[in-house]
Amino acid sequence: MHTRDIYKKLFSNNAVVAHRGAWKIKGLPQNSIESLREAMRLGCAGTEFDVHATADGVFILYHDNIYAGKNIENHTYAKLAETKLPNGEVLPTLDKALMEGMKQTDTRLFLEIKPSSTVEKTVICAEKIVNKVIEMGAQPWVFYISFEYEAIKRIKQLAPSSMVAYLNENISSEQLKSDRITGVDYNYNFFKENISLIKNAQYLDLSLNVWTVNSPEDMDLFLNHNFDYITTDEPELLLSKQKMTI
């Protein structure tokens, strides 16, 4: 077991992370509880979801900063939740997602902290999210990811054993290692254009994740490079491919 991920042995032994849940085949809303449950049913090693804070401090699952024509940061949860998801599901909260995730031990929760209007607000959100995860006892399930480096660093300060990965490519692997960041989580095109970075990250014992890998050829490439996690909109296909390589 890699020292970079003290909880990995608790979850499914594959590299598949369902991007915004497993939603595509069954036509489920992205970032819904049902798509999260489907990822768990499939036995994915992880399911990724995006988290924003509402005006009254409720953390919700949604990708964009605008929901039903309303800026999430400027509206209360009650107002936003008046509009249900296409499957009739109430706009899901982080609390609900964590509770669902903790019902099982196959699928980890890749929790992306979306940027707020300022870096300071994003860091405050990160602090509150970490406190919630700790309060609920959900630490083993959660792998934090974000495009905001200050938020990622703050999480490691508050919870040193937490798993965290950075989504931007503007920080060197050596600096990430120095700051005790668990790993890198970059777009597939960046890795394809910087293959040497893969070996360097592995040498530094950084966890490797890549997004969003949907073509069979790219799946083969990253499986062959022994990535820890591969985030995809096609978890069923990637699961079948990985079974063939085992």
CA distance 77 to 54: 6
Q: Dump pLDDT digits (tens) for 161-193.
A: 999 999 999 999 999 999 999 999 999 999 999
The domain in which residue 54 lies consists of 8-241
CA distance 225 to 72: 39
H or E element: which one contains 80?
helix 77-80
Asked whether residue 189 is domain-assigned, the answer is yes
Question: Number of structural domains, the chain?
Answer: 1
Asked whether residue 3 is domain-assigned, the answer is no
pLDDT at 6 exceeding the cut of 90 = no
Asked whether residue 108 is domain-assigned, the answer is yes
Quote the pTM value.
0.96
Asked whether residue 229 is domain-assigned, the answer is yes
CATH number where 96 lies: 3.20.20.190
Ranking 8-12, 36-40, 218-222 by mean pLDDT, the lowest is 8-12
Asked whether residue 2 is domain-assigned, the answer is no
CA triple 78-79-85, angle to 5 deg? 85
Asked whether residue 130 is domain-assigned, the answer is yes
Asked whether residue 246 is domain-assigned, the answer is no
> DSSP labels for 197-210?
HHHHHHHTT-EEEE
Asked whether residue 218 is domain-assigned, the answer is yes
